[in-house]
Structure 1
């Protein structure tokens, strides 16, 4: 039987040299399984496609269609860019069996991609296999989660021991995972997806510009009977926020609030979304009351609750008032 075909999709936005570093790491790991790679530039406007084409040619990566470069005319966000790559198919026109999404600031250890493929091969009902992620300092990142819920919103915003213990079943982050296991969803920094599942349920919802798109895709998959797995044998170094600048951002960007609201309304309805918002605000008030004690500081970005309330208020204005 022929080996399963893997297509790696590497999305770039204004980080061409880091993306090439990620491509080099991915290609070294793909060599053992014969996969291909497509680099999608998300309308960076900084000459990235030309940099990629020159580097691909100079390094001989284009031999046999091993690496291709696609320039998107618009920046539709994370999901839209990855959808372009997933639709590209293999260089011979055939469809891949698996689609491997890798962030431009993520670098797989040897054997990591094969470990994800092997897990999906061994579990026919699995739609996703995702890697153990760590930082450049070797500290593990939290990338496996439960689906968001009203109780989870309250627990996550309150960050108070007694509440967290009472709502442990709803806590969204899954901490200190040291074994391969099924999870609700995982971050898309290093995620292998079964192509047959995407054919059945569709790709990313492109109404999410950034954030919550993986959550939504995994929820749609779960509702269709597909599982998501966290595979500890697959290990990847991730810098984090290499393209978005979120590490240094003083406030959460509007698209985060847009994505959060769209996720809850789309998947649970407006009433549930409103209750989730109120739960988050109530938890946030508890957190800030606790932080009023000497030596304590809020853990949210600046003006987070104020921005969350202001964003929610736009949902009740006429459309003509919510757009410039």
Structure 2
């Protein structure tokens, strides 16, 4: 069994109730060598005080380090603070974990660190993520983004949704690790030494697209990123993001982040092609997203 030291980084923004619940649940993890760093990302409410009070009044099976950022610089900025703190404490691996994650498997850390210990060229391992209907979500991105595929996917977005549903059903039976380009940023484990080598997260990104940048950095250095479908976590995605931003704001942030990724990390793609890719994002947002949103509302009304 792995004895590698793991630092779990949890970023909090306003949702202290979720963070407290998450800290309590981690008492069930059967692993003797981990600690937790909680970073409050300059929440405008009393999150920091609430979490601090909870930590001081309760006993945990692990060490907790609580800190607060000077400003809300977004996902990458806040997590970088936690990662560097975990690195200073001596973590061999860092588990980036949203506060709305549930880890049902008590052996989760043992299994995921054992995989990394046995695969030295692998930088990241990400679990299968269950969000809706008890099904495992597809890996964030299996292969590196190709310009023509990217544009076609946006232009024929409804068809892509249909194909993804088929792929999602097939992946439920996958048991072996799958090499991918990027895993979801809500929960993954990365080697601390490699995280330092690639300069951590790019904190010029406020929210969304961090995983693409991370995947590209690792791709260029020849490190592996693996999706572990037989190791599951549960993610209530809408709780944290949906409570702060509306769907239009989220979509625009996603597009801006993808544009940044293309401009600063994909110089192998021509300027004209990058521009077309971004325009195709806006096409998808303006044409398909409103129609799909209305369709979902109509379906929900009919079901009621």
User: What TM-score range do you get, normalising by the shorter chain?
Assistant: 0.7 to 0.9
Find 2:136's aligned residue among 104, 120, 140.
140
Aligned to 2:94: 99
Alignment root-mean-square deviation, CA: 3.4
Change (3 A) 1:282 1:75: closer
Change (3 A) 1:245 1:274: farther
Instruction: Give per-residue Cα distances to partners, 1:50-84, cap 9 Å, x unaligned.
Output: 111111122213x7x71111111111111111110
Aligned pair count reads 287
Structure holding more helix per residue: 2
For residues 164 and 245 of structure 1, what CA distance do their matches in structure 2 show?
A: 21
For residues 274 and 161 of structure 2, what CA distance do their matches in structure 1 show?
A: 16
Q: How far is 1:116 from its partner?
A: 1.4
Segments of structure 2 that go 5 or more residues without pairing to the other structure are 295-304
Q: How far is 1:246 from its partner?
A: 7.4
State TM-score, norm by structure 1: 0.77
Pair 1:298 & 2:291 matched:
yes
State TM-score, norm by structure 2: 0.82
Q: How far is 1:136 from its partner?
A: 6.0
Which structure has the bigger radius of gyration? Answer: 1
Q: How far is 1:298 from its partner?
A: 3.1
Change (3 A) 1:151 1:299: farther
For residues 200 and 286 of structure 1, what CA distance do their matches in structure 2 show?
A: 36
Segments of structure 1 that go 5 or more residues without pairing to the other structure are 302-324
SS in 2 for 1:265: helix
1:1-324 equivalence runs, <5 A: 3-29=3-29, 31-61=30-60, 66-89=63-86, 94-110=89-105, 111-135=107-131, 137-145=133-141, 146-159=143-156, 175=168, 176-177=170-171, 178-179=174-175, 180-245=177-242, 249-253=246-250, 254-269=252-267, 272=270, 274-279=272-277, 281=279, 298-299=291-292
Q: How far is 1:297 from its partner?
A: 7.4
Aligned to 2:302: none
Change (3 A) 1:194 1:285: closer
Instruction: Give per-residue Cα distances to partners, 1:141-181, cap 9 Å, x unaligned.
Output: 2343133331232232133698999xx9xx9x974432321
Instruction: Give per-residue Cα distances to partners, 1:170-207, cap 9 Å, x unaligned.
Output: x9x97443232111101111100001111221100000
